Structure 1
């Protein structure tokens, strides 16, 4: 069986799983066994089928598991979002369609040689900083929950940081390929342009209070430097700088202190000062309300879960128990309805994508491709760890999204762009390996 036929077969299997999940939610929602859910599943499968057909002609040797696994994740995300809010699910489906369109456009545009992106590495670096700066500009940027992440232009609103992350990876891949030998030899002067672009990006992220993205981009930076040079010294220095910077931010920013306090002490036996109301209250009823309710949700799922559509996310008067459930805390909803088994299975799917992506990086023949693939995949893995770790109280909670699952157009579109780049690298690397 050819590579692309295997991809088609995997897509069919993913569609069967997605159909069963959506049918379960539909039956619980309506109390009837109807076929109306077939229309939703058919549209999503049709979009992925278009992407598959384009992949046959543009990336014939690409990994056959990436697209089906991404399809499975987005279908699960749409199912859970539909279960929580059908209107949000319809909007998310539109963004999935836009994301698949971006994937298709990327494959067609760069089908001959994606390495042309390396020529414009400095442009990508500067553009990343500009994109990160946009939410701070008066008139177009606005703050949500104390964080300046969003840009609003008329009816359109988006998070430029999602695209900036990919631009930074392209810049780092191009620059580190040129300078990796001198950096491996310890010539620190070649770190100059690298630190200027990266440092500017970090300062903008801190200024906008988007500390989750700052941590994500810092981790990607360290990982790509290590892949390029093979020197653990850079990683050690980076971790030391991170610890020092974290201590400085903790002392300087009340928001960081609050996040750390909520992480370490989400419950209190005595009433403490509530930053939301300005009054004394138990912390679990105020600052750590979301985290505590999320932990209860995860615990309620047990091993096997309550079943799709049968979780408890609203009080008796209709109030949502976990604010922003379909974005920052969607993993807690999945853990309640699918249990430990389903939540672990979701993470395993992401781990398989990461493993396949690292394999792509290993077999790639040129430095730019290796660094690009490893940066994109490590970013996916680290982002998943940060958000899931925050929900499970392994690390302090940050406001980033779970890739391909959480509600949000900017995240979905940028993730599909990432998949397109990985497919391009994979096809070229596999074709070159087969010729040897």
Structure 2
């Protein structure tokens, strides 16, 4: 009996990995960061010292190590993701250093925040490399969907259960404070809950797409299928009420609505979700003082410019001072805005870089978000599509909340600017977000090989089974 020879495997032409382009862009990001640092030092009359180049070399070395990990374990990743984050992180470090100089001048601060932020950058890049190295396939995360959801809820609930001395700052209970160490668990909850949302929506898609009544051109879900939406609503309202964290409440709930809409393509889920959240917000306005104060400050911040409206008033003055082209790095007074290195770092950039510089920063974020959405379109599995789109959309929502708050477009919420604001929890969580998106991007761009399914003469021509290389 003779065995029929197998036809050769047809391999699609390999896509260029573009890793050299990524390395070149990382060098360019380092050059911009070092140039910004030199400008700050010169404008602060500290002189241009050769030892500043050591900071640039350390920064470049750190991200070259991350680049080598990507080259080894995820070579087909989008080449723009890591360089954009490196540039945002570098400019954030420069602005935090600039604020340290002002703080040293007026208060004699001996513990510069920029050194701590650089340490957290090192920890964040290490976390990035570990996730890229050990997460071989993003679909492995779907197996732990419910575990991720439970962990995310526990992390959200811990600050509300702790005494105020261990969890409260500026009126919001969002911290876990230990001796010499503190963490903001909501930063990690947003990633864990997105994994949970994506896994559940893929596994239970029939529940969310079940047909109900048709009202005003929309197909409403059946009442018994609204349980997941109500659970997300209760969670977000609980964060708003018990932790007094309006930003996290809005971020988590809108992220859930975006992922649900992407999974079902039904506007009715969004309409119902926004109606529920609006009703809860109106009720919270009349029932809770902290919500009412935030809204009243948003409506008229100049009603109490020395009290509740002080932060937003100083932020608006910073933008007005910056104008179109800004005062120049090191020439403004961004330290007059409280929490300039954390919640209001966008206002600091707005004053010293002006509208043009701030628009450039927002364009960097836009590039990252668009690349994340392109990854969601290109990836072939439903879980990867929802997770990539959810991560990119969450970043876009958070950026809108931050910029909208400091410009008084929406009520101030207190979220940090990803990769730029001072804070270890935010930096570490966003580097983990980047690592997951890098892994999904690699899965979307890597080449495939094809093999005929049936080699008999009567087999249908052109029928193929796609296999991963």
Q: Normalising by structure 1, what TM-score?
A: 0.92
What SS class does the counterpart of residue 85 from structure 1 fall into?
A: helix
Query: For residue 208 of structure 2, what is the aligned residue in structure 1?
Result: 183
Structure 1 portions without partners, runs of 5+: 269-282, 314-319
CA contact (8 A) 1:206 1:214 kept: no
What's the CA shift for 1:185? Answer: 2.5
What's the CA shift for 1:432? Answer: 5.1
Distance 1:197 1:382 in 2: 17
Query: For residue 381 of structure 1, what is the aligned residue in structure 2?
Result: 396
Query: For residue 307 of structure 1, what is the aligned residue in structure 2?
Result: 328
Bigger shift: 112-121 or 346-355? 112-121
Corresponding residue to 1:323 among 338, 349, 360: 338
Structure 1 residue 355 and structure 2 residue 390: aligned? no
Corresponding residue to 1:365 among 380, 385, 406: 380
Distance 1:15 1:145 in 2: 35
Query: For residue 156 of structure 2, what is the aligned residue in structure 1?
Result: 132
Structure 1 residue 240 and structure 2 residue 295: aligned? no
Query: For residue 285 of structure 1, what is the aligned residue in structure 2?
Result: 306
Bigger shift: 128-137 or 353-362? 128-137
Corresponding residue to 1:261 among 277, 281, 296: 296
Corresponding residue to 2:234 among 199, 219, 226: 199
What's the CA shift for 1:194? Answer: 6.2
Q: How does 1:30-429 map to 2 (within 5 A)?
A: 30-85=45-100, 87-110=112-135, 112-138=136-162, 141-186=166-211, 188=222, 189-192=224-227, 195-196=230-231, 199-200=234-235, 202-268=237-303, 283-313=304-334, 320-429=335-444
CA contact (8 A) 2:257 2:273 kept: yes
CA contact (8 A) 2:63 2:86 kept: yes
Q: 1:403 to 1:330 in 2, by over 3 A?
A: same
CA contact (8 A) 1:134 1:141 kept: no
Q: 1:107 to 1:327 in 2, by over 3 A?
A: same
What's the CA shift for 1:26? Answer: 1.7
Query: For residue 316 of structure 1, what is the aligned residue in structure 2?
Result: none
Distance 1:29 1:244 in 2: 50
What's the CA shift for 1:191? Answer: 4.7
Structure 2 portions without partners, runs of 5+: 1-15, 102-111, 212-220, 451-465
CA contact (8 A) 1:365 1:432 kept: no
Higher gyration radius (CA): 2
CA contact (8 A) 2:17 2:76 kept: no
What SS class does the counterpart of residue 435 from structure 2 fall into?
A: helix
What SS class does the counterpart of residue 296 from structure 1 fall into?
A: helix
What SS class does the counterpart of residue 152 from structure 1 fall into?
A: strand
CA contact (8 A) 1:387 1:398 kept: yes
Q: Normalising by structure 2, what TM-score?
A: 0.85
Which runs of 4 or more aligned residues in structure 1 lie more than 6 Å from their structure 2 counterparts after TM superposition?
A: 433-436
Q: 1:197 to 1:257 in 2, by over 3 A?
A: closer
The count of aligned residue pairs is 415
What's the CA shift for 1:22? Answer: 1.0
Q: 1:177 to 1:202 in 2, by over 3 A?
A: farther
Distance 1:199 1:119 in 2: 25
